[in-house]
Amino acid sequence: MHKGNQMNRRQAIQQLTIMGLGLTLYPSCNTEKIPQYSRVPLDAKRYKLLQEVSEAILPVDHITYVTPEPRSQYILTILNDCTSTEEVTNFLTGLESLQQYLTGVKMSDLDKLSNDDLDKIFDYMADSKGQDENLYKFYRTTKNLATQHFTGCEKFMIEELKFEFVPGRYIGCKEV
Amino acid sequence: MNDSNTFDAIVIGAGMTGGWAAKEFCDNGLKTLLLERGRDVKHIKDYPTTNMLPWEFKHRGRIPIEVAEENPVISRCYAYREDAMHFFVKDTEHPYGQPKPFDWIRGYQVGGRSIMWARQTQRWSNFDFEGPARDGFAVDWPIRYEDLDPWYSYVEKFVGISGNRDGVDTLPDGEFLKAWDLNCVEQHFQKVVQENYKDRHVIYARCAHITENKEIFQKQGRGLCQGRRICQRGCPFGGYFNANSSLIPWAEKTGNLTLRPDSVVHSIIFDDKTGKASGVRIVDRLTKETSEYFAKIIFVNAGTLNSNLILLNSISDRFPEGLGNDHGLLGKYVAFHNYRARISAEHPGHKDFAPEGGRPTSAYVPRFRNVYKQETDFLRGYACTFGAYRSLHTDNDGHGQTLAEHLLQKKEYGPWGVGSGMMGETIPKESNFVRLDKDKTDEWGIPMLNISIDYDENDEKMIHDFFEQYSDMYKKAGLTNIRTSDSKQAPGLDIHEMGGIRMGHDSKTSMLNKWHQVHSCPNVFVTDGACMTSVSTQNPSLTFMAMTARAANYAIEQLKKDAI
* B265-304: burial string, b at 16+ Cβ within 10 Å, e else: bbbbbbeeeeebbbbbebbebeeeeeeebbbbbbbbbbbb
A104 close contact with B: CB closer than 8 A: no
Find the residue in B nearest to A84 (Cα): B65
Residue B148, CA atoms < 13 Å, CB-side half-sphere = 27
When CB atoms are compared, the residue of A9, A148, A175 closest to B400 is A9
A10: pLDDT strictly greater than 60:
no
Q: Do the beta carbons of residue B129 and residue B141 sit within 8 Å?
A: yes
Candidates B57, B65, B405, B411: best to mutate against A (most CBs of A within 10 A) is B65
Alpha carbon B233 to chain centroid distance? 17
Question: Does residue A82 lie within any of the structural domains?
Answer: yes
Please name the residue ranges forming H helices in A27-131.
Answer: 44-56, 71-82, 85-104, 115-126
pLDDT at A2: 37
Find the residue in A nearest to B239 (Cα): A168
| Other CB atoms within 10 Å distance of the CB of residue B169 | 14
Domain ranges of chain B: 181-204+337-425+455-490
- What is the pLDDT averaged over residues A64-81? 97
Question: Does residue A131 lie within any of the structural domains?
Answer: yes
Question: Does residue A169 lie within any of the structural domains?
Answer: no
Confidence of residue A28 (pLDDT cuts 50, 70, 90): very low
User: What is the distance between the alpha carbons of residues B130 and B519, in angstroms, rounded to a whole number?
Assistant: 22
The whole-angstrom distance between B115's CA and the closest CA on chain A is: 19
When CB atoms are compared, the residue of A59, A150, A173 closest to B400 is A59
Find the residue in A nearest to B355 (Cα): A172
Confidence of residue A32 (pLDDT cuts 50, 70, 90): low
pLDDT at A20: 36
A7: pLDDT strictly greater than 80:
no
Question: Does residue A75 lie within any of the structural domains?
Answer: yes
Task: Look at chain A and report how many structural domains it folds into.
Answer: 1
Candidates B66, B356, B390: best to mutate against A (most CBs of A within 10 A) is B356
Question: Does residue A174 lie within any of the structural domains?
Answer: no
**Residue B317 carries which side chain, given as an amino acid letter?**
D
Residues of A numbered 19-48 whose beta carbons fall under 8 angstroms of chain B's beta carbons: which are they?
none
Residues of chain B positioned with their CB less than 8 A from the CB of A4: 404, 408
A5/B55 touch (CB, cutoff 8 Å), yes or no? no
User: What is the distance between the alpha carbons of residues A170 and B227, in angstroms, rounded to a whole number?
Assistant: 7
Residues of A numbered 62-101 whose beta carbons fall under 8 angstroms of chain B's beta carbons: which are they?
67-68, 77-78, 81-84
Residues of chain B positioned with their CB less than 8 A from the CB of A121: none
Over residues A76-134, the pLDDT tens digits come to 999 999 999 999 999 999 999 999 999 998 887 888 889 899 999 999 999 999 999 99
When CB atoms are compared, the residue of B181, B399, B409 closest to A126 is B399
pLDDT exceeding 90 applies to what percent of chain A? 74
User: What is the distance between the alpha carbons of residues B526 and B507, in angstroms, rounded to a whole number?
Assistant: 15
Q: Do the beta carbons of residue B210 and residue B223 sit within 8 Å?
A: yes
Question: Does residue A147 lie within any of the structural domains?
Answer: yes
| Other CB atoms within 10 Å distance of the CB of residue B468 | 11
pLDDT at B530: 98
Find the residue in A nearest to B391 (Cα): A161
When CB atoms are compared, the residue of A84, A163, A172 closest to B181 is A172
A115/B413 touch (CB, cutoff 8 Å), yes or no? no
Residues of chain B positioned with their CB less than 8 A from the CB of A152: 54-55, 60
Find the residue in B nearest to A124 (Cα): B399
Residue B441, CA atoms < 13 Å, CB-side half-sphere = 6
A163 close contact with B: CB closer than 8 A: yes
Ranges in chain B, pLDDT < 50: none
A17: pLDDT strictly greater than 60:
no
The whole-angstrom distance between B70's CA and the closest CA on chain A is: 13
Residues of chain B positioned with their CB less than 8 A from the CB of A162: 356, 392
- What is the pLDDT averaged over residues A146-175? 96
Pairs of CB atoms within 8 A across A/B: 145
Q: Do the beta carbons of residue B398 and residue B377 sit within 8 Å?
A: no
pLDDT at A85: 96
Residues of chain B positioned with their CB less than 8 A from the CB of A60: 404
Overall size of chain B counted in residues: 564
Find the residue in A nearest to B362 (Cα): A172
Residues of chain B positioned with their CB less than 8 A from the CB of A8: 401
The whole-angstrom distance between A100's CA and the closest CA on chain B is: 21
**H/E element holding B309?**
helix B304-312
B184/A173 touch (CB, cutoff 8 Å), yes or no? yes
Average pLDDT, chain B: 97
Average pLDDT, chain A: 85
User: What is the distance between the alpha carbons of residues B19 and B115, in angstroms, rounded to a whole number?
Assistant: 12
Question: Does residue A170 lie within any of the structural domains?
Answer: no
Question: Does residue A132 lie within any of the structural domains?
Answer: yes
